[in-house]
């Protein structure tokens, strides 16, 4: 087993790190404070090819592997998880799903501008009473012959107002259960499509999270992804890749907390010496580093399996489960290491702690990851 990164992967990692430090770090506190969407930063990220990293170049993407995607997500997330979640949704949930299951016409019309970052996409599964449970969809897509009539509400949608293209999961035939669900491509501006208010969130405050309302929106049949009734399978397969993205985001948040803590521990003095010389601080740093490395290996394993075309369902769920727990652990420890300064915004770690919590919730809660893992174990 080779643990060495390729030269190309190292270059991607360095480019992401440089971007995070030069373009994201200045202004990240202000964007968080004022819930400002990082439009300018996303545009520059797209120019680097990071909004369609794994998409074939013939469709406007960068053609990179999933390991490179994990590396880039980690570096971006160290500084601004609001940027990385936008990047994750566009890459893992929207671009991947369209490239894997979309028609050639759908790829030409939607995937190319999405992969280039000319427009942003959104993935619409969660509902007020459904969360990540795709089988309990109340949003309906009534088959009207040559179009679907879409009605319902979606909640907690990342890129909710800034997206131009939305993949919406909706129930077409309730009697068929999960086999009666479809995935539809919805364009912003379609009559009857309304964006609700922006959510005032604990963390990732710069990201654009909204409810979406659909009132008799006519969706052409050519905007359905896959065969009739494929929507549930589409959502499940797409969420697998999404878990790698969120695991990588959690990994980055934890890594950022460790880096800020290492820097602070070598500058801050207590009882006549730098605090890193105190064994209590050393223990915290060692525990953080060990858990972060373990989370990174889980992310790499899931990414490797995906790149090899092997089943990565369990690996992605494990990576997301553990990395999100490490993100919470590491950020809480970082605040503790910083003491009173950890409670102050200018030292960054309190923001990382707030951002870390959402990684345990979206793309399925920790409990959902455990269900996915146990089902995989029990089928063998």
Marked catalytic residue, from 23, 127, 350, 363: 363
Burial letters for 5-25: b for 16+ Cβ neighbours within 10 Å, e otherwise?
A: eeeebeebbebbbebbeebbe
Q: Compute CA 98 distance to the chain's CA centroid, rounded to the nearest angstrom.
A: 16
- Contact in structure between 71 and 245 (CB atoms under 8 Å): no
SS3 118: coil
d(Cα 283, Cα 147) in Å, to the nearest integer? 61
Residue 40 half-sphere exposure toward CB, CA atoms < 13 A: 7
Residue at token pair 């809660």: 365
- In angstroms, the CA 110 to CA 97 distance is 11
The whole-angstrom separation of Cα 232 and Cα 377 is 22
**Count of CB atoms within 10 A of residue 1's CB?**
4
Is residue 187 within 8 Å of 165, Cβ to Cβ? yes
Which residues pair with residue 220 across a beta bridge?
147
Q: How far is CA 29 from the centre of its chain?
A: 20
User: Taking a C-beta distance cutoff of 8 angstroms, is the pair 129, 160 a contact?
Assistant: no
Confirm whether 142 is a catalytic residue: no
| Catalytic residue positions, numbered | 363
């Amino acid at each position: 087993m080779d643990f060495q990164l390729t030269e190309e992967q190292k270059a991607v990692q360095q480019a992401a790190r440089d971007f995070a430090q030069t373009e994201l770090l200045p202004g990240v506190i202000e964007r968080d404070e004022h819930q400002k969407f990082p439009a300018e930063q996303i545009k520059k990220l797209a120019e680097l090819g990071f909004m369609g990293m794994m998409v074939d170049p013939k469709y406007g993407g960068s053609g990179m592997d999933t390991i490179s995607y994990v590396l880039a997500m980690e570096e971006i997330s160290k500084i601004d998880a609001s940027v990385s979640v936008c990047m994750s949704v566009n890459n893992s949930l929207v671009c991947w799903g369209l490239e894997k299951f979309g028609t050639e016409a759908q790829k030409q019309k939607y995937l190319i501008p999405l992969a280039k970052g000319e427009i942003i996409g959104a993935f619409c599964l969660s509902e007020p009473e459904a969360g990540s449970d795709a089988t309990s969809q109340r949003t309906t897509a009534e088959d009207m012959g040559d179009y679907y009539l879409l009605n319902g509400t979606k909640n907690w949608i990342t890129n909710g107002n800034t997206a131009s293209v939305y993949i919406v999961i909706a129930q077409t035939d309730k009697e068929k259960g999960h086999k009666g669900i479809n995935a539809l491509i919805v364009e912003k501006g379609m009559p009857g499509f309304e964006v609700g208010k922006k959510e005032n969130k604990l963390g990732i405050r710069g990201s654009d999270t909204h409810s979406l309302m659909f009132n008799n929106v006519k969706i052409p049949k050519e905007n359905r992804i896959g065969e009739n009734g494929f929507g549930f399978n589409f959502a499940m397969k797409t969420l697998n890749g999404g878990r790698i993205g969120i695991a990588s985001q959690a990994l980055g948040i934890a890594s950022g907390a460790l880096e800020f803590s290492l820097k602070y521990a070598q500058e801050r003095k207590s009882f006549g010496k730098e605090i890193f010389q105190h064994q209590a601080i050393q223990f915290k740093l060692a525990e953080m580093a060990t858990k972060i490395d373990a989370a990174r290996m889980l992310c790499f394993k899931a990414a490797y399996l995906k790149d090899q075309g092997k089943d990565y369902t369990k690996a992605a769920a494990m990576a997301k489960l553990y990395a999100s727990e490490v993100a919470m652990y590491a950020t809480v420890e970082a605040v503790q290491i910083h003491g009173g300064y950890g409670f102050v915004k200018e030292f960054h770690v309190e923001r990382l702690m707030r951002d870390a919590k959402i990684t345990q919730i979206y793309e399925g809660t920790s409990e959902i990851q455990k269900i996915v893992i146990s089902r995989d174990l029990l089928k063998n």
